[in-house]
């Protein structure tokens, strides 16, 4: 759904937590399977799915024995044709890395919501942080592409959950939605459009007869069609590097074909995947790049700066990976400095430096004490830039 559409869509208002909006978004997107394990600060998502899914047509909810099992069950469900998800926080997200890799390799659409809390280890269960950003990108072993999205307020939690499912289905890939404790536990008024107001994408199923179907064959989009298990297309799925039939291979040409296709199916759709919002960027001399709840503080900080006569702007990232290089650079315009506030020691500022340090000065603003970055902090940083 486009937020800029002139016509007000049909729907209802809701006073919701970020986590509740995620569950709402998942149900709108057509999620019919949830497998999870309780963990603060994500548990509300699981509780709502436990209440809602059994009451809905063919909805399945399962509480598994740990996070490894949760994502295993989600993969099984997705292979059986379901739109499936799980939600967790740092410690559980660490356990899920094994199966995120499997889902990349076996091209299994699914959504993992990671509500970030302070870490490492058990860390700060009820305090916000943004320490899992690079883990979301590189947490599972082996070279792989991945889509990591984020949301900065409760309304975006709803929208980005739908977007997560759409991208997972469209590109046959795991999608990670990174929230932080503040966004997940903020309660505010949101607008929930009717499900038919959203563009919902479902995975492509094969149109050819089963005997012609090659499960991992090259296609125009690089994404092979995916039939549900038991529909007459019997094929092999494996986490081993495989040929077009899905059988393990050691042949360099087949290995390269697979790996390049896995990357290309994401790479060639950057314009569709890399989502950013901007605020007051047109003439900005100082631009703040932020994501999650920090983007919300940053918006206020930027407005405070504007009031005091400083030309400040905000780029808030809805897509963290693949890192939105071009959308960001386009918005930098004539800026002389970029400030990247985040609740870690510089996980996205490193990306911003990588793509922009040749044209503008990039400064990190870090906070790791379990508290939020305030608008005043950001305003101060802008004033000093």
Partner 1 sequence: MSHVTEIIHQYLRHNKKFPHVFCPGCGHGIVLGSLIRSVHELGLPKDDVAVVAGIGCSGRIAAYVDFNTIHSTHGRALTFATGVKMSNPKLHVICIMGDGDATAIGGNHLIHAARRNVSITALVLNNNIYGMTGGQCSPTTPEGASAMTTPYGQLEKAFDMVELGRAAGANYVARGSVFQANMLERFIRTAIERPGFGLVEILSPCYTQFGRKNHFKTPVDMYRWLKENAVPRESWEKMTEEKRRGRIPVGEFAINDAPGLEQRYAEMAARLKEEAER
Rounded CA separation 308/382 (Å) = 11
SS3 135: helix
User: 213 or 291, CB closer to partner 1?
Assistant: 213
Q: Which of 6, 8, 65, 207 binds partner 1 (CB under 8 A)?
A: 65
User: Which residues, other chains included, contact 55 with Cβ-Cβ below 8 Å and sequence gap of 6+?
Assistant: none
User: 18 or 35, CB closer to partner 1?
Assistant: 35
Establish if 62 lies at the interface with partner 1 (CB under 8 A): yes
User: 230 or 271, CB closer to partner 1?
Assistant: 230
Name the residue among 329, 333, 278 with its Cα closest to residue 302: 278
3-state secondary structure labels for all residues of 34-84 = EEECCCCCCHHHHHHHHHHHHHCCCCEEEECCCHHHHHHHHHHHHHCCCCE
Q: Which of 93, 102, 269, 323 binds partner 1 (CB under 8 A)?
A: 102
Q: Compute the half-sphere exposure of residue 195: CA atoms within 13 Å on the CB side of its CA.
A: 10
Q: Which of 84, 104, 158, 295 binds partner 1 (CB under 8 A)?
A: 84
Decide if 81 contacts 172 (C-beta within 8 A). no
User: 200 or 244, CB closer to partner 1?
Assistant: 244
Establish if 99 lies at the interface with partner 1 (CB under 8 A): yes
Establish if 82 lies at the interface with partner 1 (CB under 8 A): yes
Q: What are phi and psi of 18, to 5 degrees?
A: -55, -45
Smallest distance from partner 1 to CB 106, Å: 8
* Count of residues interacting with partner 1 (CB under 8 A): 44
Establish if 222 lies at the interface with partner 1 (CB under 8 A): no
User: 206 or 292, CB closer to partner 1?
Assistant: 206
- Chain-centre distance for alpha carbon 382: 28
Smallest distance from partner 1 to CB 149, Å: 23
Query: How is residue 123 written in tokens?
Result: 């860390």
Rounded CA separation 315/246 (Å) = 42
User: 68 or 200, CB closer to partner 1?
Assistant: 68
Calculate the dihedral angle through the C-alpha atoms of 255, 259, 262, 268, rounding to the nearest 10 degrees. Answer: -130
Smallest distance from partner 1 to CB 172, Å: 15
Q: Which residue matches tokens 């790791």?
A: 368
Binding map of partner 1 across residues 223-262, x = CB under 8 A, - = no contact: -----xxxxx-xxxxxxx----x-xx--------------
User: 10 or 234, CB closer to partner 1?
Assistant: 234
Please report, as ranges, the residues that interact with partner 1 according to CB under 8 A. 33, 35, 54-55, 59-60, 62, 64-66, 68-82, 84, 98-99, 102, 228-232, 234-240, 245, 247-248
């Amino acid at each position: 759904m486009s937020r800029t559409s002139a016509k007000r869509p049909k729907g209802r208002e809701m006073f919701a937590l970020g986590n509740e909006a995620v569950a709402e978004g998942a149900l709108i997107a057509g999620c019919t399977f949830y497998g999870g394990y309780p963990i603060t600060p994500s548990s509300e998502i699981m509780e709502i799915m436990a209440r809602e899914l059994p009451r809905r047509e063919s909805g399945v909810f399962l509480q598994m024995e740990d996070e490894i099992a949760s994502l295993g069950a989600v993969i099984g469900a997705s292979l059986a044709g379901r739109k499936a998800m799980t939600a967790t926080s740092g410690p559980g997200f660490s356990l899920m890395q094994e199966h995120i890799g499997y889902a990349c390799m076996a091209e299994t659409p699914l959504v993992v919501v990671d509500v970030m809390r302070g870490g490492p280890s058990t860390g700060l269960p009820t305090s916000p942080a943004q320490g899992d950003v690079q883990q979301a990108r590189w947490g599972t072993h082996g070279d792989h592409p991945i889509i990591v999205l984020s949301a900065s307020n409760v309304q975006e939690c709803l929208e980005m959950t739908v977007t997560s499912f759409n991208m997972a289905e469209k590109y046959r890939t795991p999608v990670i939605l990174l929230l932080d404790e503040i966004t997940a536990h903020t309660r505010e008024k949101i607008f929930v459009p009717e499900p038919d107001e959203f563009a919902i994408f479902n995975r492509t199923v094969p149109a050819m007869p089963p005997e012609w179907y090659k499960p991992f064959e090259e296609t125009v989009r690089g994404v092979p069609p995916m039939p549900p298990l038991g529909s007459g297309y019997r094929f092999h799925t494996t986490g081993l590097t495989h040929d077009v039939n899905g059988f393990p291979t050691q042949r360099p040409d087949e290995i390269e074909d697979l790996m390049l296709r896995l990357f290309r199916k994401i790479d060639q759709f950057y314009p569709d995947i890399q989502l950013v919002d901007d605020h007051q960027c047109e003439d900005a001399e100082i631009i703040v790049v932020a994501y999650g709840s920090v983007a919300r503080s940053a918006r206020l900080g930027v407005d405070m700066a504007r009031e005091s006569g400083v030309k400040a702007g905000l780029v808030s990232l809805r897509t963290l990976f693949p890192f939105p290089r071009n959308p960001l650079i386009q918005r930098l315009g004539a800026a002389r400095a970029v400030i990247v506030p985040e609740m870690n020691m510089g996980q996205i500022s490193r990306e911003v430096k990588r793509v922009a340090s040749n044209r503008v000065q990039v400064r990190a603003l870090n906070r790791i004490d379990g508290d939020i970055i305030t608008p005043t902090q950001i305003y101060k940083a802008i004033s000093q830039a």
